[in-house]
Amino acid sequence: MERQHARSGSPFEASIGFSRAVRVGDTVAVSGTAPVWPDGSVDPDPATQARRCWEIMLAALTELGGDVTDVVRTRQYVVDAAYADAIGAVHGEVFGDVRPASTMVVVAGLLDPRWKVEMELDAVIG
């Protein structure tokens, strides 16, 4: 089967050896995505961070031929349970009608201390 890649331009893609997203057949997996703007900045608001993550991931999904209605699973890693309501509300804005399987986990920390959330998604196109 053909393998397609979406790249985000992250400087870590080559050094770590990953793609923002990979499509094989009808399945798309989008890598853990952080709320970073092109200039490297990170908004401190957890809801804004969540929106930025979904924006990046859904752009990659679109590049590979899918859209929000194809999403079947999401994972959200948050650094503090106090952010869960704000981040979850954004998930509801994006996926309210799609209702994918979803997990939210509180983690001890993420790669950059500015990040309050990092997310992943899986989709099946077709």
Please state the domain extents for the chain: 3-124
For the question of whether the overall pTM of this predicted structure is more than 0.85, the answer is: yes
Residue type (1 letter), 64: L
**pLDDT tens digit sequence for 58-89:** 999 999 999 999 999 999 999 999 999 999 99
pLDDT of residue 15: 86
**For 3-124, which CATH class?**
alpha beta
pLDDT of residue 55: 97
**Rounded CA separation 17/124 (Å):** 24
**pLDDT tens digit sequence for 16-27:** 889 999 999 999
DSSP 45: -
- Dihedral sign computed on CA atoms, order 122, 98, 56, 79: negative
pLDDT of residue 68: 98
CA 106 remoteness from chain centre: 16
